């Protein structure tokens, strides 16, 4: 049996006609960049994530970059984030001209540890005036502990940009009630890369915010900093979304909750059936419904590479998110970090393993994955 990480053809099959007519509508409209479909998507995403405004952009990476630009983050500034995420989270900080400062993750959730964040602020009191943003990541589809993070951010007056690229539709039980990923900080950033729970047919992203002025500025930055054609009050870039992506994502958004539910069901199935001492299952920090399971990442205490070899031999797709934390990446050498600086991130890099959990995965496939893993450790 072959088990992929994702099966986009299976996802497409039941919605193919809807997608085709949405695409043809755009093709025949001859309106290919931004336009009514993108505006409608912005409205739907704002509604869905419980925020006032949403601005569609060219990718999740660009969503993060443009949010930093809109907050005037630049040379000499510091942006605090975690060293364990997809590269874009840290890459954009450098591209904005600023310097990343890392704080470690909570080993159980892989998300920013609010205690580590507080400790960083306590021990860097000499340069707090340089800190322009904090970027927590809602990794794998589960929100970071935002109450703890916002408490530190508010105490020091630092805006928070949520990297919610993997967490569209995830919820967080804040002390002020249930909140959606992306709607808690100054801005939230989503990605519509095809592997995300809401994936386009190409690149796309979105910035959401409750701050109308910030949204206006982001919309301007998206279009070379111009509101009136050929007049530029600030320097932006081309961060526009294609109309085709808007049309496709509008169709797919209608099915998103159903896909989240199918992923949750698969996560439950692993919980009930994947029982091996060497494998710890992901911690569900809040209600099950809060998690959207973009990835199902287990922790392997021994022989991970050998297990991967076995999985490969059995045609079971899997991956390591992420094998090297940012502070040990060659491109960040100049930041001066060393091995041992962030033990929880380093441990996660050495022990995590993502198993397939996509919505269309069958029970037969899950049984096959589970049998292969338990068989490997019981032999």
Ligand X SMILES: *Cc1c(COP(=O)(O)O)cnc(C)c1O
The helix-helix angle for 114-123 and 146-156 (nearest 10°) equals 20
Q: 145 or 203: whose CB is closer to ligand X? A: 203
Q: 35 or 204: whose CB is closer to ligand X? A: 204
At its nearest, how many Å lie between ligand X and the CB of residue 190? 8
Reading the block at residue 134, the tokens are 């904090």
16 CB-near residues (< 8 Å, 6+ apart): none
Q: Which residues pair with 80 in a beta bridge?
A: 101, 134
At its nearest, how many Å lie between ligand X and the CB of residue 345? 14
Q: 78 or 139: whose CB is closer to ligand X? A: 139
The four Cα atoms 302, 306, 308, 309 give a dihedral, to 10 degrees, of: -170
Q: Which residues pair with 135 in a beta bridge?
A: 81
Reading the block at residue 323, the tokens are 């094998």
Positions in the binding site for ligand X (CB under 6 A) = 59-61, 85-86, 88-89, 137, 163, 165-166, 191, 193, 203, 205
At its nearest, how many Å lie between ligand X and the CB of residue 197? 11
Q: 29 or 195: whose CB is closer to ligand X? A: 195
φ, ψ at 282 (rounded to 5°): -65, 145
Reading the block at residue 358, the tokens are 């996509």
Name which of 85, 138, 78 is nearest 293 in CA terms: 138
At its nearest, how many Å lie between ligand X and the CB of residue 275? 29
The four Cα atoms 8, 10, 12, 14 give a dihedral, to 10 degrees, of: -160
At its nearest, how many Å lie between ligand X and the CB of residue 376? 28
Q: 200 or 274: whose CB is closer to ligand X? A: 200
Return the sign of the alpha-carbon dihedral for residues 44, 47, 50, 53.
positive
At its nearest, how many Å lie between ligand X and the CB of residue 269? 24
SS (H, E, C) 212-259: HHHHHHHHHHCECCECCCCCECCCCCECCCEHHHHHHHHHHHCCHHHH
Query: How many degrees, rounded to 5, is the angle at CA 189 between CA 338 and CA 27?
Result: 130
At its nearest, how many Å lie between ligand X and the CB of residue 193? 4
At its nearest, how many Å lie between ligand X and the CB of residue 272? 28
Q: 252 or 365: whose CB is closer to ligand X? A: 252
Q: How far apart are CA 379 and CA 48, in angstroms?
A: 48
Q: 88 or 373: whose CB is closer to ligand X? A: 88
Q: 163 or 346: whose CB is closer to ligand X? A: 163
At its nearest, how many Å lie between ligand X and the CB of residue 133? 15
Name which of 89, 80, 82, 157 is nearest 123 in CA terms: 80
Query: Of all residues in the chain, what percent are helix, strand and coil, respectively (each to 5)?
Result: 45, 15, 40
Q: 185 or 366: whose CB is closer to ligand X? A: 185
Q: 296-300 and 279-280 as β-strands: parallel, antiparallel, unpaired? A: antiparallel
Residue nearest to ligand X (CB): 60
């Amino acid at each position: 049996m072959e088990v992929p990480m994702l099966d986009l053809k299976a996802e497409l099959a039941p919605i193919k006609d809807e997608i085709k007519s949405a695409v043809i509508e755009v093709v025949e409209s001859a309106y290919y960049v931004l336009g009514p479909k993108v505006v409608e998507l912005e409205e739907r995403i704002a509604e869905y994530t419980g925020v006032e405004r949403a601005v569609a952009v060219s990718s999740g990476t660009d969503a993060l970059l443009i949010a930093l630009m809109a907050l005037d983050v630049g040379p000499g500034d510091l942006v605090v984030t975690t060293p364990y995420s997809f590269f874009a989270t840290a890459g954009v900080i450098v591209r904005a001209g600023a310097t990343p400062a890392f704080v470690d993750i909570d080993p159980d959730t892989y998300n920013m540890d609010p205690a580590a964040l507080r400790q960083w602020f306590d021990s860097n009191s000499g340069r707090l005036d340089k800190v322009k943003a904090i970027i927590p990541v809602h990794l794998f589809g589960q929100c970071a502990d935002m109450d703890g993070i916002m408490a530190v951010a508010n105490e020091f007056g630092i805006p928070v940009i949520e990297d919610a690229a993997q967490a569209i539709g995830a919820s967080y039980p804040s002390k002020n009630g249930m909140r959606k990923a992306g709607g808690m900080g100054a801005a939230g950033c989503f990605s519509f890369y095809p592997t995300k729970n809401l994936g386009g047919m190409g690149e796309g992203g979105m910035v959401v915010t409750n701050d109308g002025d910030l949204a206006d500025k982001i919309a301007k930055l998206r279009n070379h900093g111009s509101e009136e054609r050929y007049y530029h009050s600030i320097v932006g870039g081309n961060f526009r979304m294609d109309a085709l992506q808007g049309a496709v994502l509008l169709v797919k958004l209608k099915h998103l909750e159903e896909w989240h539910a199918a992923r949750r069901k698969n996560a439950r199935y692993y919980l009930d059936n994947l029982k091996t001492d060497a494998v710890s299952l992901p911690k569900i920090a809040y209600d099950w419904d809060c998690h959207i399971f973009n990835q199902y990442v287990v922790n392997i205490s021994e022989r991970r590479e050998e297990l991967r070899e076995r999985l490969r031999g059995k045609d079971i797709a899997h991956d390591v998110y992420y094998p090297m934390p940012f502070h040990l990446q060659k491109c960040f050498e100049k930041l001066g970090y060393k091995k041992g600086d962030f033990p929880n991130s380093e441990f996660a890099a050495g022990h995590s393993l993502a198993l397939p959990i996509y919505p269309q995965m069958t029970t037969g496939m899950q049984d096959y994955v589970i049998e292969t893993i338990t068989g490997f450790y019981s032999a």
